[in-house]
Structure 1
Amino acid sequence: MRHRFSSITEDLLQLHEAMRKRWPGLLRVAIALYDEQKEMLHTFIKSSPDTGLLNHYSIKLQEVPSLVKLAESGEARLIQDLEILKDHHTVHSDAIAEHFKSSYTEPFYMAEKLLGFIFYDADEVGYFDDDLLEQIQNYSRLIESLIVSEMLPVKALIGMIDTAKELTNLRDSETGKHLIRVARFTEIIALQIADKYDLSDEIIEYMYHYAPLHDIGKIAIPDNILLKPGPLEDAEYDIMKTHVDEGLKMVDRMVNHFSFQQIHHLQMLKDIIGDHHEHYDGAGYPKGKKGNEISLVGRITAVADVFDALTSDRIYRKAMPVDEVIAYMKAQKGKQFDSECVDALLVNLDTVLEIIDKFKE
């Protein structure tokens, strides 16, 4: 029998529903992922009666010593009375102590590296008896397997593309740090507009992972065009524009050859690749889409990519001063760019500038 691929959030909701049939007081199951590069812990997926609780929340792992201890030891933590968290004074501890009475937390890993934590929260003090704890440990192994199986194909796809770039000696201005910055800017924009567009933490997580793959089709562009130190002639520019379709073909080949059809949000990756050179007014390429015909993630990535490109040195020009880039982005609102996406980036300018400074070439 064939089954459709459900999202990890749908899987978690089903698991939680099954658990609550026996333990109705188990009100919340949540997963937070750890980003080693940023040293940040951030919300990923959750099943909770309060859908607004700790949405889009992140914190430096080192600011939560109790979780650092769990990560280092690999052991679980049981708190039968959450009153003790009220002295910790973090957003997370205050929210949990306000809404729940007891909790159980486990760290989980991939290839011996911390991947994140699973949190179980109940509405009664002392709710976690031996029977529930035994079952939770079984559910935790299942949840860990779901998340690892979700992440491995994504990481494998990204690794394959990175390897292809190395093997083809791809050498253009899109350095590793450029890709990091584009991913960060994409995340900033997505978080800023998340409530309006109902973007879950799971969706934003995939945007963050997929944004650096926006220009993978450049592997297919000849070096004499890709690395040309001056302006491209019309015929050369036409060839350069084919990198969008080449990128889409590359994804399709990898999906088919390596049976990656189960990768969730694969259409998101295709939208990033296919739409990030479209212009809001319809003057972009490859299809001349306009306005909301362009996917939201494509509109977001376009702003992130161009802002970073203009503030970075490229083989054919020097970086523009930040104030000039800001003026350009504002002038292109409603033309090249979605106005909301530009505003979402610029309202977080201090964070954007910190990222530029941290990931300098």
Structure 2
Amino acid sequence: MSEQGLKTILVVDDEPANITVLSGTLKDNYRVIVAKNGKQAIDRIESVVTPDLILLDIMMPDMDGYELCQILKRRPETKDIPIIFVSAMSEYNDEEKGLQLGAIDYITKPFSPAIVLTRVRNILQLREAQLSLENQNKALEQTIAERTREVYLTQNVTIHALASLAETRDNETGNHIRRTQYYVKTLATNLMRNGHHLDELNKDNIDLMFRSAPLHDIGKVGIPDSILLKPGKLDPEEFEIMKTHASLGAIALKAAQESVGENETSFLRYAREISECHHEKWDGTGYPKGLKGEDIPISGRIMALADVYDALISARIYKPPFSHEKAKDIILEGSGKHFDPKVVDAFISSEEEFKAIAAEFRD
């Protein structure tokens, strides 16, 4: 085999006789480079080649083998090179120290060339198997990442397609969807940072809530145009029909959730919760189920405030847009009645972010 295709062994020893014996043992099967001390070994690695394995003496002047091993194991580019100590230091403590520093084997001088050759071959085969496994794992991780990205994109496309469908039948604008989406993320992040609902609020779940929020009014596709698009105030009977949009959305999303399995697409769980519960009130006077307090999922409580705030600051046929300050006063008044007090606190401490979101996505 040409030297170009051979594994490279670095022999580090200050005794020429040892170098001669080791080089002679290995040269027929490996490319051998030598160094007579620790500094020269580092120079060889940096300027010649990164070896596949190092045979390292311990007792050397200036820098002993233990020190060189520590230096190599600290460096990212050399930390994974297998090191075999080859030393006349034969005490158990010497071998134990060498292995603790990261060496993979320890051969005591005087050595048998056949033993050295066998140990080197076995360790290089093991290292090659490890590298092969690492490459397989990297390829698998890349495949999983690509599939995860595909699922993520599919979820987003599904969400936006459904949200756009609801939007075509509603007087509210697409910017309402974007604003409330970012309000939800802001509130959830603030609650998490302040240590609230940590069993539910984490980076991944907040992302799911953010992506699911546009589906909060998906049930409006089931409301008759005569009610949904009515320019004036709804009468009591019409309002009762309008209220069913929360349940209609939840039913559709629950069916989708059950058909694909909750664990695979948990974003549908949040979409269902938000759709069904964003009109529930903290004091139990909301709809469709009249849930109260902590019985309302946190995603629904967050969406409730986000939705109301945006309705207050937006123009409607039946009202002009309210200022942020007026909307804030109404929300404060609703704390403990309409809204979860902790969510209201999160809103108050995130006022500037709400203003910035409203300005960025204004109609």
TM-score strictly above 0.5: yes
Equivalent residue number for residue 165 of structure 2: 164
**Which of 235, 239, 243 is equivalent to 1:241?**
243
User: Are 2:155 and 1:154 equivalent residues in the alignment?
Assistant: yes
Q: Whose Rg is larger?
A: 2
Partners of 2:209 and 2:80 in 1: how far apart? 36
Equivalent residue number for residue 323 of structure 2: 321
In the TM superposition, residue 153 of structure 1 has moved relative to its aligned partner by 3.9
Equivalent residue number for residue 289 of structure 1: 291
Contact 2:166-2:221 within 8 A present in 1 as well:
yes
In the TM superposition, residue 276 of structure 1 has moved relative to its aligned partner by 0.6
**Which of 340, 343, 353 is equivalent to 2:342?**
340
In the TM superposition, residue 128 of structure 1 has moved relative to its aligned partner by 7.3
Moved more, 234-243 or 224-233: 224-233
Contact 1:228-1:315 within 8 A present in 2 as well:
no
Contact 2:170-2:220 within 8 A present in 1 as well:
no
User: Are 2:189 and 1:191 equivalent residues in the alignment?
Assistant: yes
Equivalent residue number for residue 310 of structure 2: 308
Question: 5+ unaligned residues in a row in structure 2: which ranges?
Answer: 1-72, 82-127
More strand by share: 1
What letter corresponds to residue 196 of structure 1 in structure 2? Answer: H
What letter corresponds to residue 201 of structure 1 in structure 2? Answer: K
4+ residue runs over 6 A deviation: none
**What SS does the corresponding residue of 2:196 show, helix, strand or coil?**
helix
Partners of 2:209 and 2:362 in 1: how far apart? 22
Partners of 1:316 and 1:123 in 2: how far apart? 70
Contact 2:213-2:274 within 8 A present in 1 as well:
yes
In the TM superposition, residue 291 of structure 1 has moved relative to its aligned partner by 0.4
Partners of 1:172 and 1:345 in 2: how far apart? 26
What letter corresponds to residue 125 of structure 1 in structure 2? Answer: P
Equivalent residue number for residue 49 of structure 1: none
C-alpha RMSD of matched pairs (Å): 2.5
Alpha-carbon spacing, 1:128–1:183, altered in 2? closer, same or farther (3 Å):
farther
Equivalent residue number for residue 81 of structure 1: none
What letter corresponds to residue 307 of structure 2 in structure 1? Answer: D
Alpha-carbon spacing, 1:233–1:141, altered in 2? closer, same or farther (3 Å):
same
More helix by share: 2
Partners of 1:241 and 1:287 in 2: how far apart? 11
Equivalent residue number for residue 125 of structure 1: 76
Partners of 1:277 and 1:133 in 2: how far apart? 51
TM-score (norm 2): 0.60
Alignment of 1:92-241 (within 5 A): 125-126=76-77, 127=79, 131=131, 134-135=135-136, 137-162=138-163, 164-165=165-166, 169-173=168-172, 175-194=173-192, 195-198=195-198, 199-241=201-243
What letter corresponds to residue 213 of structure 1 in structure 2? Answer: L
Alignment deviations for residues 334-358 of structure 1 (CA, whole Å, 9 cap, x no partner)? 0000011111022111111111111
In the TM superposition, residue 144 of structure 1 has moved relative to its aligned partner by 1.1
TM-score (norm 1): 0.60
Alpha-carbon spacing, 1:142–1:348, altered in 2? closer, same or farther (3 Å):
same
What letter corresponds to residue 197 of structure 1 in structure 2? Answer: H
Equivalent residue number for residue 34 of structure 1: none
Partners of 2:267 and 2:250 in 1: how far apart? 14
Question: 5+ unaligned residues in a row in structure 1: which ranges?
Answer: 1-121
Contact 1:153-1:263 within 8 A present in 2 as well:
no
Moved more, 147-156 or 287-296: 147-156
What letter corresponds to residue 228 of structure 2 in structure 1? Answer: L
In the TM superposition, residue 265 of structure 1 has moved relative to its aligned partner by 4.0
Contact 1:177-1:360 within 8 A present in 2 as well:
yes
Contact 2:332-2:344 within 8 A present in 1 as well:
yes
**What SS does the corresponding residue of 1:244 show, helix, strand or coil?**
helix
Equivalent residue number for residue 47 of structure 2: none
Alignment deviations for residues 291-342 of structure 1 (CA, whole Å, 9 cap, x no partner)? 0010111101101111111111123221112111100100110000001111
**What SS does the corresponding residue of 1:250 show, helix, strand or coil?**
helix
Partners of 1:252 and 1:341 in 2: how far apart? 26
Equivalent residue number for residue 351 of structure 1: 353
Aligned length: 236
**What SS does the corresponding residue of 2:328 show, helix, strand or coil?**
helix
What letter corresponds to residue 142 of structure 2 in structure 1? Answer: R
Alpha-carbon spacing, 1:239–1:260, altered in 2? closer, same or farther (3 Å):
same
Percentage identity across paired residues of the two chains: 33
Higher relative contact order (CA 8 A, sep 6+): 1
What letter corresponds to residue 193 of structure 1 in structure 2? Answer: L
What letter corresponds to residue 315 of structure 1 in structure 2? Answer: I
